[in-house]
Amino acid sequence: MTTAPARHRSASKGPVSEPLSSLKSKHELAIRLTLAPGLMIGPGKIALLENVRTEGSISAAARAMGMSYKRAWELVDEMNSTFTKPPVVTTKGGKTGGGALLSDIGLELIRAYRALEEASLRNFHTQFADLRPQLRKRAARG
């Protein structure tokens, strides 16, 4: 037996809102933040951080994303050089092999970005609800 996804009730509004997974499948929202001069954080860097967390290395994270190791390293270096403590901590290779893990700052970057993304997507859904019926149906792009 399959249960329906949990629905969330807004604290300030009475109606029940759709679960985030449902909103993501209907709408696309890309957030890019300028955290400091020269450092923008967006979906690509957040995905890289998430892949470093799950894969345990920059090279494996890059492979999982279809990105070159050089590009992944450049993005990590950009993030690491902007914060007082690096979001991605690396260990050198050798007999035990190298690796990478996220520091508390890296984990907080993901958490804060995903929370902002969720809140923004819910707000988008609310703000544009009246316009949705006015959209013309178009063939999906391939």
User: pLDDT digits over 74-125, tens only?
Assistant: 999 999 999 999 999 999 876 777 899 999 999 999 999 999 999 998 888 7
Confidence label for 21 from pLDDT (cuts 50, 70 and 90): low
pLDDT at 46: 97
Is 70 exceeded by the pLDDT of residue 22? no
Contacts of 78 (CB under 8 A, 6+ apart): 38, 39
69-82 vs 43-55: helix axis angle to the nearest 10?
100
**Per-residue exposure over 4-41, b if at least 16 CB sit within 10 Å of its own CB, e if not:** eeeeeeeeeeeeeebebeebeeeeeeeeeeeeeeeeeb
The residue among 10, 31, 8, 2 whose CA lies nearest residue 20 is 8
39-125 maps to which CATH number? 1.10.10.10
Identify which has the larger pLDDT, 85 or 29: 85
Q: Where are the domains of the chain?
A: 39-125
DSSP assignment of 6-73, as one string?
Answer: P-EE-SS-SSEEPPHHHHHHH------EEEETTEEE-HHHHHHHHHHHHHSSHHHHHHHHT--HHHHH
Asked if 27 and 121 count as a contact pair (C-beta separation under 8 A), the reply is: yes
17-26, 29-38, 82-91, 92-101: segment of lowest average pLDDT: 17-26
